[in-house]
Structure 1
Amino acid sequence: MSPPAEQTNASARRIAQLALPALVVLAAEPLYVLVDTAVVGHLGRVPLAAVAVGGTVMSVAVWFGTLMAYGTTGRAARRFGAGDRSAAVAEGVQASWLALATGALLVVVVQMVAGPLARALASDPAAADAAAGWLRIAVLGAPGLLLAAAGNGWMRGVQDTRRPLWYILGANVLSAILCPLLVYPGGLGLTGSAIANVTAQTVAGGLFLAAVVRESPSLRPVPTLIVNQLVLGRDLLIRGGAFQVCWLSATAVAARFGVAAVGAHQIALQLWFFAALALDAVAIAAQSLVGAALGASDADVARVVARRVTLAGGVAGVGFAVLAAAGAGVIPSLFTGDQAVRDQAAIVWPWFVGLLPFAGVVYALDGVLIGAGDVAFMRNITIVAALAGFLPAIWLAYALDLGLGGVWAGLGLFTLVRFVGMVQRWRSARWAVVGATR
């Protein structure tokens, strides 16, 4: 069956129709984290450091979710492009079973290791204890977080980015209201922040679960499909593991430079994640359109999408850099009143601004290659960037007492190595393999 022309339409208008709703979805979670950071930051250095440490651990769950969403999008988009919507939705059903199992496992594991893990990441005992308490509550939202990721994946694959917009936006607005109410007038402090996180993630997961239940003719787990998703996700898992080692190592090294340093690192890193996910909006459109085009055996359209997305990513990255540079004297003050933390943030800021244009291109090409299923290459270039760039630089920063500047120099090397490798891959067109599956 041939797909409707709109499914493989590579016009700028069609890219925007998919990207703009995805932008809201992508921005909602990190924007809530920024609100959470600002609310907690005004409780003092220790609570801010606790959220930095606990949030870094919870980023593992976010990583699993991103991996699940991206893997499901690629598989669903190819089947959708080949004209089989029911098979695309079936990918979402199996991804939801995988999300529930993974989320439950994370809850059990984190309850057991929260204390030792927090102490390993935070040198300050008070910050470590606070982080462990926050983490034990916050991890209860992991099943909902992963269900939402699985739902986002199959809906993007069938080019439905509007329903996810309302699901994610509604849940996060609710939680953004709850967070300050629970932390301050509710008198719960840091615990209120964790409860607000769990609320948003559980509500969002429930909405996506209801959506797939309404669409699917069969909700039974199919082991063969789940195994196929796991096999396809293997390279994304390894790639994501390299990211997590880098983020965890960066936080651990930043913590060794003091509470003010790790607080500033938390602010800058969450802003980086926010910018990255916002820049990824066009890449989400690329995943859907590239996957559908290749599923429909139209490599020419896939290459047109890739070219337009790469240009859009670079322009958006420059735009974010200009905004960040203009707000250098104001933005850190929104998150903390502590002068020591603001001084440390000033060290990070030039790195943050300078890397954004390169990141815009990298994240756009991530979407192209994920949509194409070219995840083995993505795995390899990420491992090279981590082992040859990020990790040596930040541990050298620790050994030589170079402070946060050394940590963010590592992030710079990590980004630039990926930039060079992925641009070369894009220009080669070896990623454009046609067919309903790769």
Structure 2
Amino acid sequence: MEESSEQESPAARDPRPLGRQILALAVPALGALVAEPLFLLADTAIIGRLGVQELAGAALGITVMHTVTGLMIFLAYSTTPAVARLLGAGRLSRALAAGRDGLWLAVMLGAVLGFAGLAFGEELLLAMGSSGEMQVHAWNYLLFSLPGVPAILLVFAAVGMLRGLQDTKTPLIVAAVGFGANIVLNLILVHPVGMGTAGAALGTSIAQWGMALTYLVMLVPRMRAAGVPLGVDPIALRQAASVGSWMMLRTVSLRAAIVATVLIATDLGPHTLAAHQVAFTIFSTLAFVLDALAIAAQALIGKELGASRVLQAREMTRTMTRWGLGFGVVTGAVIALAAPFVPSLFTPDERVAAGITAALLVMALAQPIAGFVFVLDGVLMGAGDVRYLAVVGLVNLVVYLPLLWWISRAGFTGTEAILWLWAGFAVVFMGARAVTLGVRARGERWMIAGEHR
């Protein structure tokens, strides 16, 4: 009887004001978002006391891990809307089954990536420029990180599942405990035990598995109680992989734009590259705030469309878009005010400092565009409009890459070079994303109601 009632009745509408609903999801999500960068930062800080070769080697290993895990973030972003839509439709057991499919996909991809790392990791590090003692430390770090890859992917999928269930507090708590355990383990394994870079990687792998098992202990009983089989459903798994592949393509296009920008910055000279690195670090840090809003949008829009509350989903979209623009204005004002003073925290070089200030001023002007983009990206993810996101991601890249090529050939130097580079990234590339997302959001084709998209 409970299953029949669940299938017939959409989830009740949340009586709280929309602003409180957004903040209830976005604030804890912000804390959980910074967990993975903090894992890598902790490794870097602890290894840094070992020596230059150890730090350089670990930096290469961390770069590989960060790239791989960054591409796999689609496990969270594709699981959230699938679970939220079914939850909104009143199909709790099917929502939990969608989460189960995400967990199995994470395990399988994690195993494949782990074995691929064993087979090709050393050659990849050599191709990246490691050699001698640095190569030894880089391979030690990567080798002892590989057992943690399935756990990292499991955490992504579990976090996506909980977000879909409208719970962002649990991931925050698990991330905080995991980060604390990571620091303690790394300190012990690197220094008293004397494992060096391998110890830092092993400590992180253990902490990641602790987080993954914690999520499984929480989620498996819920699935059993709802009568959800725990085994693999091949058909459902293929569907999850199909959605995930579109999400991964979207992520690849974004990464390609970021990497291309770094390559052009490198071509424009060391001062431009240094200024760009600092500016992009600040941009990425502020992006956590906007991404937290995007996560709230995924969970809320997916639930409302699943419950066939199309008008509420439209109103949520308007509200969250205003919030994104508002946050963009606020963060832009803060960046503009701080632009003359921030460079001194990062460099004594006057040319690099001037470049950082110039980049930050362009960034400040473009922050409302970034806020608009992040929120609408989350809205369309929540609606399950992943194919459109993947296709327009490639379109945006096609718009952006010729501009980058022109900037690299125009002979810009000094402050002028970084101004053009950031005008290209923050205004043209983000602007192209704003146009393609905005046009889609104004229409109705993405607003498919009910449990299936």
Same fold (TM over 0.5): yes
- 1:6, distance to aligned residue in structure 2 (A): 3.7
1:434 is paired with a residue whose SS is: coil
Unaligned runs of 5+ in 1: none
The Cα shift of 1:246 comes to 2.7
1:219 to 212, 219, 230: 230
Aligned length in residues: 436
- Name the residue aligned to 1:436: 451
| Cα distance in 1 for residues equivalent to 2:171 and 2:364 | 30
The CA distance in 1 between the partners of 2:396 and 2:264, in whole Å, is 18
Residue by residue, what CA displacement relative to the aligned partner does 1:214-254 show, whole Å, maximum 9, x if unpaired?
A: 21122101111111112222321221121232334444555
CA distance in 2 between partners of 1:356 and 1:43 (Å): 39
CA shift in 2, pair 1:338/1:198, >3 Å: farther
For the 8 Å contact 1:53–1:251, the answer to whether it is kept is: no
- 1:27-66 alignment runs, 5 A limit: 27-34=34-41, 53-66=60-73
Offset, 1:188: 6.1
1:61 Cα offset (Å): 2.9
Q: Which of 385, 388, 392 is 2:402 aligned to?
A: 392
Render the CA deviation track for 1:347-368: whole Å, top value 9, x for unaligned. Answer: 6544444443321211111111
Q: After alignment, is 360-369 or 310-319 more displaced?
A: 310-319
> Does the Cα contact within 8 Å between 1:75 and 1:157 map onto a contact in 2?
yes
Distance 2:308 2:422 in 1: 42
- Say if 2:154 and 2:212, in contact at 8 Å, map to a contact too: yes
Partner of 1:372: 383
Query: Quick check: 98-107 or 139-148, which moved more?
Result: 139-148
Q: 2:437 aligns with which of 422, 427, 430?
A: 422
The reply to whether residue 70 of structure 1 matches residue 77 of structure 2 is yes
SS in 2 for 1:274: helix
1:287 aligns with 2:298: yes
Q: Is the 8 A contact 2:339 2:360 kept in 1?
A: yes
User: Which is greater in Rg?
Assistant: 2
Instruction: Assess if the C-alpha contact under 8 Å between 1:294 and 1:434 holds in 2.
Output: yes
Q: Helix, strand or coil for the counterpart of 1:160?
A: coil
Match of 1:245 in 2: 256
Deviations 1:94-151 (A, max 9, x none): 1111101111211222333334434555599987776555444434322111101111
Measure, in 1, the Cα distance between the counterparts of 2:62 and 2:31. Answer: 21
Q: What is the distance in 1 between the residues matched to 2:64 and 2:232? A: 29
Q: TM-score, normalised by structure 2?
A: 0.82
> % of aligned pairs identical?
33
Cα distance per residue 1:194-217 (max 9 Å; x no partner): 345434432222222222222112
Letter in 2 for 1:359: A
Name the Cα RMSD after superposition. 3.7
Q: Which runs of 5+ in 2 are unaligned?
A: 1-7
Q: Work out the CA distance in 2 between the residues paired with 1:126 and 1:332.
A: 34
Q: Confirm or deny: 8 A CA contact 2:71 2:252 kept in the other structure.
A: no
Q: Aligned partner of 2:85: which letter?
A: R
- Aligned equivalents of 2:37, 2:200: Cα separation in 1: 14
Alpha-carbon distance in structure 1 between the residues aligned to 2:386 and 2:72 = 16
Deviates more, 1:407-416 or 1:68-77: 407-416
Is 1:207 the counterpart of 2:222 in the alignment?
A: no
Secondary structure at the aligned position of 1:370 is classed as helix
Counterpart residue type for residue 96 of structure 2: V
Deviates more, 1:343-352 or 1:26-35: 343-352
The equivalent residue for 2:161 is 154
Q: Does 2:147 match 1:140? A: yes
User: 1-side partners of 2:334 and 2:241: how far apart?
Assistant: 39
* 1:49–1:259 Cα contact (<8 Å) kept: no
Give the letter for the 1:94 counterpart. D
Query: Are 1:87 and 2:102 an aligned pair?
Result: no
